[in-house]
């Protein structure tokens, strides 16, 4: 288990001492610390992760009101920040890789499903309420503005058209052993504007800029500037 257990034990021991000493100020401070500790929700599989998040080669700062659950495999670098109300969920038989100097801002949601993997390169930032789901590769030095949505999965509406869409999803999973997923890859040094949507199976080349509110449904060549619904290349950044 993580150091939360140790912190909790220390908290209760010191609280007993403080109560015995009848120190109201110390007791109130400890109650506040206890509330913060209880808000941290972390479920880590010791098979893959050392029991310290703050050791030299594994530094993650997790906001007390973030949700961080790892039942699969986590590979992480240094100086990673996970913001308030962010959700990081790594399912069984899946992998999440996070490089160095990565910021996952408030309200963002990162989730792998069984059999999937997500990779976030170094020096990459996810601004408020970004979502990554399924099989996704994000390169190094990538900028995701607020509300960017990237998902390799989608509902199956024409797999067995006679069934309800929800039932088609279940049928696909039963037939293939997992939910539908078509991997997405975003190259290094890309900038995705606010509210951009990246659809399954899309590759965005190195150095691309995707304008606000664009819906990317096809591959974008390196160093392109694209925008619109569906997104189209507007110009090239480099000749």
Q: Tokens 């096809």 — which residue?
A: 218
Distances from the Cα of 98 to the Cαs of 9, 118, 153, 200, in angstroms? 31, 8, 21, 21
SS3 15: helix
Catalytic: 63? no
List of residues 6+ apart from 38 with CB closer than 8 A: none
**Which one of the listed residues 63, 109, 155, 176 is annotated catalytic?**
155
223 vs 238: CA distance, rounded Å: 6
- Of 35, 205, 79, 196, give the one whose Cα is nearest residue 137: 205
What residues are annotated to the active site? 155
């Amino acid at each position: 288990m993580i150091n939360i257990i140790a912190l909790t034990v220390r908290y209760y021991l010191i609280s007993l001492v403080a109560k015995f000493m009848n120190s109201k100020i110390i007791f109130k401070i400890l109650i506040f610390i206890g509330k913060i500790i209880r808000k941290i929700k972390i479920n880590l599989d010791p098979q893959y992760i050392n029991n310290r998040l703050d050791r030299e080669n594994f530094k993650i700062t997790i906001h007390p009101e973030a949700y961080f659950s790892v039942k699969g495999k986590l590979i992480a670098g240094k100086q990673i920040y996970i913001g308030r109300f962010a959700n990081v969920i790594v399912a069984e038989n899946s992998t999440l890789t996070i490089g160095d100097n990565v910021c996952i801002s408030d309200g963002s949601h990162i989730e792998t499903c069984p059999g999937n993997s997500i990779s976030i390169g170094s020096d990459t930032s996810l601004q408020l309420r970004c979502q990554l789901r399924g099989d996704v590769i994000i390169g190094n030095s990538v900028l995701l503005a607020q509300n960017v949505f990237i998902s390799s999965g989608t509902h199956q509406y024409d797999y067995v058209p006679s069934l309800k869409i929800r039932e088609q999803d279940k049928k696909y999973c039963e037939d293939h052993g997992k939910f539908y997923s078509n991997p997405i890859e975003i190259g290094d040094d890309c900038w995705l504007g606010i509210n951009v949507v990246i659809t399954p199976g899309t590759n965005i080349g190195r150095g691309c800029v995707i304008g606000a509110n664009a819906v990317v449904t096809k591959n974008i060549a390196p160093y392109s500037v694209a925008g619109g619904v569906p997104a189209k290349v507007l110009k090239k950044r480099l000749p």
